[in-house]
Structure 1
Amino acid sequence: MTSASASPAASSAASPFAGAGICVIAGLSLPPGRKGPVFEQDTWDFGHVIGLPAYMKQRSRRLEFAGICNPAWRTTAKEYCAALLAPGHEHVRELPRAYRSPRTLQTCSLKLGELTRWLNWLTAHGVTSLGQVTDWHCEAYTAGRCEKHDSDGNVIGQQAATMARAAEVVIELAQYRELFSSDRYPSGLRPFGGRAGTTVAGLARTRDGENSTQPVPDDILRPVLAAALYLVRTLAPGIRSLQQEARDYTTVGPRTREKYRDPDYADIQAVLRRRVAEGRPLDRISPVKARERVSSGRLSQGDPLTEVSLDSLAREAGRGDFQWSWLGRLRPGILAAIEAVGVQEPYGRNAPVVTRADGNGQIPWTLPLPVHQISTLVRSLRTACIIVIAAVSGMRASEISELAAGCRRPVEEPVPGLARYRIASKVIKGQPLGGTDDEWVVTREVFDAVEAAERLTGNAEAGTLLFGRFTFNLMYQCFRSWVNGPAGQRLGLQQIPAGPLNPRMLRRTLAVELAYRPGGLLAAKIQLKHVSCATTEGYAARPGGAQSRLLAEVTREETRRNLEITMAEYQRHLQGIQPSGPGARDLIRLFQSVDGAITTESGTPPNVIPADQQVRTMLARRAAALHLGTANYCWFTDPSRALCLKLAGTPDADRPLLGMCDSARCPQATHHACHRPAWAASAENTKTFLGSLGRGQKTERARLEAELARSQRVLSEIDAAAGTAPHGEN
């Protein structure tokens, strides 16, 4: 399927982008006086473009075409990338299968990398013109790209996502074929028979658009959040103090040059005497530097001075770095000081006492540590801040990257004793280059995490990014190693099991937790305690904003949850386990109508379900009316019948007032086996209160006895409906 005419015809025409400024045609803004890349250049540098997101890698800001071996194909690659960046160009918008919205620089960088591999693969296989490309080349290249190799080059698996990206680039060269001026595919070539790249790779689309990102498992979420919050709340001040101490040490300059020529070294000897008098150990250097001293021949193996920081003595005396020529005169005094006070890591001595994370007593928050471990602590604290922000606010990684110094808004107090915390950032996903400014209403935990991250930047000017671009996977591994290591275990932190965790999973977990909690509360797993979620206050503040999109995700999870609960209750109905409560009769009648419809349509008994989706469709409307109460299900099908709305005097409300629910009397409330523990606990608590009343508290006794009778009646109804009532009960 070669095309001798296609390529020469293409090469005779000038490129439609010849001489064009790429930033101009793509609508990218540059600072005054800056010039962007021109089409003919082999390197397109977008580093000075205004509004590039903070998370973008440096290599994604440069498009390199010199890596393509065939010079003619470099022009093809440039035209392809220009078309991706400028779909509104007069020659691009005429193409029927071209993208209609501009691709991001990061996407173009990824596609150019894949295109370079494809074109160089063709060169290696003897192809000199794109007109010689056949279906075999397309199939062979993508088949090779999907292979996963070990360190020895052996094939150990397949990477469907990589294959899909490779196939997409191969396909898109055909879709932009008419645009290319130097070379192009033959006119009859349709790579992979017109199939999409995902289809070629065998990637199946998720059913009903379901999110493929999984929530964080509970056994990982609990210790991760507990450790992150402990770092932010308890250890952040100490870590910041150590960080500042290390910075101060490196910024102290030497004294005058004359001091270096002091032949008596009285100042250093005075430092040694002062340390002995104060009981301060000499500073220890890192094992690496100690080995360097031995390997260089300056000190012998086993010399007590090998691990002593001599520079710290000189700097304390105001001299700067220690000169080895001084050691002969100072050795006796240093050895005497070692004998008197010993040698110890220089930072974290006399650390403040804190309460252990497990509550088992108080200990200094850190043991003495060397300077390189301060960076480990700072990195762990920074990771903890990201975890808290992502887990409790639902911000994406790109939005966290845009957080800057000064992003915390003044705390508001709309009601005495109730504070509202807000932070500002940018929404990047789905927005024009530069993002869109937005605000998040957050909890105190998130506000404190942002403050801790802000303090780590020192006295940074407003607008300085707090995190910038970060690689969370590496940061999390270091964080987990610290928590599971001696330092974290000494502080009583629970070990974090192995398993994946990233900001997307934390965001999904937040959505699921919000959807599965009555009243929209986030049950954050923090040492078995719950933290109420204030983020819902921001959902309606900016229609279409970041938090409203998170609410939409929560709503989808809630809809899925309601349908699963309704389906589960229907399955129990088929097993003879019925609901109880005032609304049980209506719910059972609905289930029986579904039984009848299935029997009529399929001719099978109602306990044989021919199609699960058929039942879901029948129950979907009732599931949409489900609201979860603490001790009941509320089937809010008719607001005029809702007891809570009658008591509140708001019969036209579109949602029940679950805080006022009296499920023992409301005709739309049902009780199920899952609610039995709540009613049993209520009965036990009421009995306890009754036992503590005096003889004169008759009114309170009557009220509690009525409450106990109600709880016991509900328990009896639940047991009877489930077929678990004790013998002798009806």
Structure 2
Amino acid sequence: MITPTRPTSQPAGNAASPFAGADLCRLVGFTLPTGAPRSVFEDDIWDFTQVIGMPAYLAKCARRLDFTRITNPRWKTVAKEYAAAQMAPRHEAVRLLPHANRSIKAIGTIYAELLELVRWLNWLTVRGVRHLDEVTEHHCTSFAQYRATHRPNGAKTPHRESVHKLVASAILGLVQYGELFTTDRYREGLRPFAGHTANEVAGADSGPAENKTQPMADEVFQPLLAAALYLVHALAPHLVRELETKWHQDAARTSLPSSALADPAALEEVLRRHVTDRRPFHLLPARTKIRTWGLGNEDPLARVNLRAIAHEAGKGNFGPQLLGQMRSAIEKAVDDAGVAEPFCSDAALMERADGQGAVSWSLPLAERDLRTLTQVVKTAAHLVIVALSGMRQSELREMNVGCRVPPVEAGPGLVRYKLASRVVKDKPLGGVADEWVVVKEAYDAAEVAEQLLGDGADIGDPLVTGPLDRTRFTTFRNWVNGPAGQRLGLAPIPDGPLTARMLRRTLALEIAYRPGGLLAAKVQLKHLSVVTTEGYAARPGGAQAKFLAEVNAEENERNKDLVLTEFRRYQQGHLPAGPGARDLIDFFASVDGQLARTGAEDSVVVDNDQQVRDLLAARAEVLHLGVANYCWFTDPSKALCLKLAGTPEATKPLVGMCDSSRCPQATHHPCHRPVWATSTQTKQAFIGSIARRQKSEKARLQTDLDRDLAVLAAIDATT
């Protein structure tokens, strides 16, 4: 692709920007709360943090476009005009540009591209370039090579393909929109990267895109999901009860007076209860300053949380004077009752994940460790939802408290569970509300995620407050593989990449390779096109042609098995029925004769399954499965369905139009008998319910019933 050239003349320095004075939210169509500040084009920071409907996954920093870091003042205006044009492609000044993008770019994409644009412009400034018409092909190539390995923190590690594309897009974007810029632009004739597109510069394949996300390896996926399910269903109820106790204590603590405990009687009562109940005093949290009470590191009370004693006595702190007065009593009580971490000190027993006995669900934990455990269980809940529903990260982040749709009983013993969220990808700002049909495990995981938010969470609050990213997966794996997870009998999770996209791809494969699974996967994954689903469902590579080739190969193997089964039945004296039975019997007889001749010539028995399958392969290639028959599509001119449809040149039968009782290429076998029997029973019931005056209808149904009975009789006779 050749990049178009730009006009020769540079813009006049006093030219007014087509976006001058524009209210950006009104320009783009964003909605703001009443009274919220509104950014205008001239601002150096465009703030969209309060825009209603911004996707939840978008970080707060990505909702602010910051132009202050561009050192050349005239290039600030260039960057603003470029960003505004990306946001408002229908603007009068933009829609006339022949090479401008015609679709609105998301704020997150514009933010990422602006970061690269800032680096590009400042890189030019450092190298003495003051005007864009001084930029050469060498500058463009040099910067792209520099950004290929250099990171903003100074590290030199290769970037992903997406970063290379952003770099190229930032450079080429100033070519595409050059006519729009009012303060500076590239010279005419500049063709960065020899006219190649951003995809080509990044090394992306310009042909049909393959899904590069690999499914998760079974040896990683199985222990990962097993650990997550165990934590959600076995450990989470205990954790929620512990957290509820903590939240209640925290609420009570906030209502305590801030005054220091000075009452010896109240302190003596607290000490007595601890000793009597054999309840250890709380350890002081790690890294807590103890200078408040003048205690040294070697002091016997340095490890005791004196503030917790004060809270238990109804005060907000511990008085130093009372500490000196009651030190001996406190030390004795500590010696008698001991000290321990404040949480999970009396954890109940539960069955280990490997079935090897019961253990306490947790060892005593400090508050910091309890927070870590809570985050691990939250990760487990979110992981189960993604792995069993196929949600994207953006859809997971759009889930709110109350997302669990009330279960619906779909039949006796059958319950349908749904989770509500919003589809954001390829949708207008704010997304589109949708529901995911899920298994009960995912539904229960959403309930656990709600419970872990605490009583302060209201309906409509975000259910997931952070991304399910590499850090959380790593923390989860380290916890499972560490002492805590191994004590619970969890299988270690091997090394290997762990991402939410891999979980989604794994589920796509599991669904798509079942009967009717391709369309089911499209619906479940919320794809716009089944073509996208084909890419997800293909085995490594994701090419649609490869996927279809694999499906055809599997169907061919299935057909060979079916033909072999029918041939063996023929050898046992069980013949097919139907109009095409004679042709099929003749074919089987010829194969049987060929086997006999080959065996006589070679003086060996040639009758193993593989050799027979090879002889039957030609007939397997023309086998098509109907609901109530097999169709042997050997001669299109004989196909009744093609004659009825008026398409005699077709290369495949129209199985949905098959009348197997009359088609000369159809056969009936014992596996089809239940279908015909059900049809017979249904028609008999209808005939019995028809009034006497409806003679024509009754006659028509009776003709169909007679046909079904004849087919049933033929199947029974041949077996």
TM range (shorter): 0.7 to 0.9
The alignment partner of 2:372 has SS state of helix
Structure 1 distance, partners of 2:622, 2:492, is 40
Q: Deviations over 1:507-536 (max 9, x none)?
A: 000011123346759xxxxxxxxxxxxx95
Residue number in structure 2 paired with 1:37: 39
TM-superposed CA distance for 1:328, in Å, is 1.2
What displacement does 1:572 show? Answer: 14
Matched, 1:397 2:381: no
Q: Deviations over 1:81-129 (max 9, x none)?
A: 0000000111111111111100000011011111000100111111110
1:355 corresponds to:
351
1:373 aligns with 2:369: yes
1:80 to 56, 79, 82: 82
Deviations 1:478-506 (CA, angstroms, capped at 9, x unpaired): 11111111111111011111221111110
Paired residue for 1:282? 281
SS in 2 for 1:420: strand
The 5 A counterparts of 1:601-680 are 640=660, 641=667, 643=669, 644-649=671-676
1:675 paired residue number:
none
Deviations 1:369-425 (A, max 9, x none): 111111111111111111111111101010010110111111110212111101110
> Matches of 2:567 and 2:92 in 1, distance apart?
64
Query: In the alignment, is the contact (CA less than 8 A) between 2:290 and 2:302 conserved in 1?
Result: yes
* Aligned residue-pair number: 590
Deviations 1:338-382 (Å, cap 9, x if unpaired)?
A: 221211111112212211111111121111111111111111111
Matches within 5 A, 1:80-479: 80-148=82-150, 155=156, 157=158, 159-205=160-206, 208-253=208-253, 260=260, 262=262, 264-289=263-288, 292-293=289-290, 298-459=294-455, 460-479=457-476
Q: Distance in 1 between matches of 2:465 and 2:270?
A: 42
Partner of 1:440, secondary structure, is strand
Structure 1 window deviating more from structure 2 (5-14 vs 186-195): it is: 5-14
Residues 623 and 12 of structure 1: is their aligned pair in 2 closer, same or farther, counting only changes over 3 Å?
Answer: farther
Deviation readout 1:427-480 (Å, 9 max, x if unpaired): 000000000000111110110010111111223221111003425211111111
Out of 494, 498, 503, the residue aligned to residue 501 of structure 1 is 498
**AA in 2 matched with 1:97:** H
Query: Matches of 1:315 and 1:304 in 2, distance apart?
Result: 20
SS at match of 1:244: helix
Residues 256 and 195 (structure 1 numbering): CA distance in 2 closer, same or farther, change over 3 Å?
Answer: closer
1:694-713 correspondence to structure 2 within 5 Å:
none
Distance (whole Å) between structure 1 residues aligned to residue 12 and residue 337 of structure 2: 83
Q: Which amino acid is 2:62 matched to?
A: S
On the 8 A contact 1:147/1:159 being kept in 2, the answer is no
CA distance in 2, matches of 1:571, 1:647: 25
Where 2:317 maps in the other structure, the secondary structure is coil
Give the residue type in structure 2 aligned to 1:209.
A
Could you tell me whether the CA contact under 8 Å between 1:563 and 1:624 is conserved in 2?
no
Alpha-carbon shift at residue 220 of structure 1 (Å): 0.8
Task: List alignment gaps of at least 5 residues for structure 2.
Answer: 571-583, 588-616, 627-651, 661-666, 680-718
Do 2:8 and 2:188's aligned partners in 1 also have CA atoms closer than 8 Å? yes
Asked if structure 2 preserves the Cα contact closer than 8 Å seen for 1:484 and 1:496, the reply is yes
Q: What CA distance in whole angstroms lies between the structure 2 residues aligned with 1:353 and 1:498? A: 30
Shift of 1:56: 0.5
C-alpha separation in 2, matches of 1:140 and 1:254: 60
Report deviation, 1:161.
3.6
Check conservation: 1:409, 1:424, Cα contact below 8 A: yes
CA distance 1:154–1:383, shift in 2 (3 Å): closer
Q: Percent identity between the aligned chains? A: 41
Larger of the two Rg values belongs to structure:
2
- Secondary structure of the residue aligned to 1:422 is strand
Q: Distance in 1 between matches of 2:623 and 2:335?
A: 77
Post-superposition CA distance 1:550-569 (Å, at most 9, x none): 86666666985563365589
For 2:213, what is the secondary structure of its paired residue?
Answer: coil
For normalisation by structure 1, the TM-score amounts to: 0.73
Q: TM-score, normalised by structure 2?
A: 0.74
> Compared with structure 1, are the counterparts of its residues 89 and 148 closer, same or farther at alpha carbon in structure 2 (3 Å cutoff)?
same
1:274 deviates by 1.1
Compute the RMSD of aligned alpha carbons. 3.8
CA distance in 1, matches of 2:250, 2:420: 34
Secondary structure of residue in 1 paired with 2:32: coil
> What is aligned with 2:707?
none
The correspondence of residues 30-69 of structure 1 with structure 2, limited to 5 A, is: 30-69=32-71
User: What amino acid is the match of 1:198?
Assistant: N
Equivalents in 1 of 2:505, 2:310: separation in Å? 54
Cα deviations across residues 586-623 of structure 1 (Å, max 9, x unaligned)?
9xx9xxxxxxxxxxxxxxxxxxxxxxxxxxxx99x969
Distance 1:304 1:583, change over 3 A: farther
Distance 1:9 1:442 in 2: 58
In 2, distance between residues paired with 1:80 and 1:449? 44
C-alpha separation in 2, matches of 1:209 and 1:79: 32
